[in-house]
Amino acid sequence: MAKRIAIVEDEAAIRENYAAAFRREGYSVDAFEARQPALDAFGVRLPDLVFIDINLKDDVEGGFELCRDLRALSADLPIIFLTARDSEFDAVSGLRLGADDYLTKDISLPHLMARVAALFRRMDALSKPQGPEGRITRGDLTIDSERMTVHWQEHAVGLTLTEFWLVHAMARYPGHVKNRQQLMDAAQAVLDDNTITSHVKRIRRKFVAIDADFDAIETVYGMGYRWLSE
């Protein structure tokens, strides 16, 4: 069955251009021009991936609000901002709300398609039977790849798809420094340095919310990150 992509974009020409491009790649596409119609549809059925612009008609921050609403509906639905707003502040704001990535509209269509294909490969990998490495236990940490769940001290940690794979990549080999390229390769994602930094900060906050003394993720300045050995 074709993967279903939703595009929330208020400019009709841009919306239809992206929709047509995704349909040519074999995806099923739902397109919306505003936050509320999209939210009404998502309440009935969630897509497999959502692209959101920030400015939605007269709702200047509508995309941010929609992202927050979607995260309340699903912790792991892939959400990507696709917007003309290229400020670092907006990018960090979007990631803090739980988006998996933040792209600007100057991205080429081939590059965009490659990122989407990589994201769906990650999703498909989770649906396949897992080998012995499907379950990882590192002290207070437990990762179940088959169910895409992470627990810390037996408490569930609500991670997005990208966050899950970043934790998995680090915890699989505790004590080993993973540079940004290795994290991208492990997660089958294409993320810039600022995006990875924002994801790691958000991951830390989620663990600290469970355990105020959490310090298992170490930043190795100039090199990358590592999950500390037990």
pLDDT at 45: 92
Cα–Cα distance measured from residue 29 to residue 2, given in angstroms and rounded to the nearest whole number:
10
Statement: the pTM of the whole predicted model exceeds 0.95: no
Alpha carbon dihedral 35, 36, 37, 43, in 10-degree steps, equals: 110
The answer to whether 187 and 221 are in contact (CB under 8 A) is no
Quickly tell me which residue has 């936050």 as its tokens. 35
The answer to whether 5 and 49 are in contact (CB under 8 A) is yes
Write the DSSP string, 73-133.
H-SS--EEEEES---HHHHHHHHHTT-SEEEETTS-HHHHHHHHHHHHHHHHHHHSPP-GG
pLDDT at 188: 62
First to last CA, the chain: 43
Sheet containing 101-104, strands listed edge to edge, beginning at the edge strand earlier in sequence? 28-32, 4-8, 49-52, 79-83, 101-104
User: Would you give per-residue pLDDT tens digits along the chain (230 residues)?
Assistant: 889 999 999 999 999 999 999 999 999 999 999 999 999 999 999 999 999 999 888 888 889 999 999 988 888 888 999 988 777 777 777 777 888 888 888 889 998 998 888 788 877 766 655 555 568 899 999 998 877 889 999 999 988 888 888 999 899 889 999 988 888 777 666 566 677 888 899 899 999 999 999 999 999 988 999 999 76
Q: Which amino acid is at 171?
A: A
